[in-house]
Amino acid sequence: MDLEYTKVDLQNATKRLGLNEQILKSLVKSFLESDMFIKAEEAFNKHDLEAAKIAIHSIKGTSINLGLVGMNKLAIDIETKIKEESYLDFDLLSLLKEVWKNIEI
């Protein structure tokens, strides 16, 4: 796995959101424990392009707001394939799953 995808930028996220680092870390932990990835995975497994697009878009937006810049880049790549090619890239989804498990804050 490319370590670039696990990159976290808490400093810029704390400035952008006006939060202290401890609160931001708590939000990141809650995000990573949420069912957002499960919803994306379920949509992929059902070959539901619209639900997959919505789930990945949510991951994309939340990840950048929380400073998970690497995850955000990967979500952008997945979303682009869905929007422009109507293609569910299961390899990228598997990579996202690995990234999700390996984010360290």
pLDDT in tens, 6-63: 889 999 999 999 999 999 999 999 999 999 999 999 999 999 999 999 999 999 999 9
List, in order, residues 6 or more apart from 50 with CB less than 8 Å away.
none
Q: Which domain holds residue 27?
A: 3-102
Q: How far apart, in whole angstroms, are the C-alpha atoms of residue 81 and residue 20?
A: 35
pLDDT in tens, 68-100: 999 999 999 999 999 999 999 999 999 999 999
Which pLDDT score, from 0 to 100, does residue 1 have?
A: 62
Q: How far apart are CA 11 and CA 43, in angstroms?
A: 33
Q: What pTM was computed for the model?
A: 0.92
When divided into structural domains, the chain yields a total of 1
CATH code (residue 68): 1.20.120
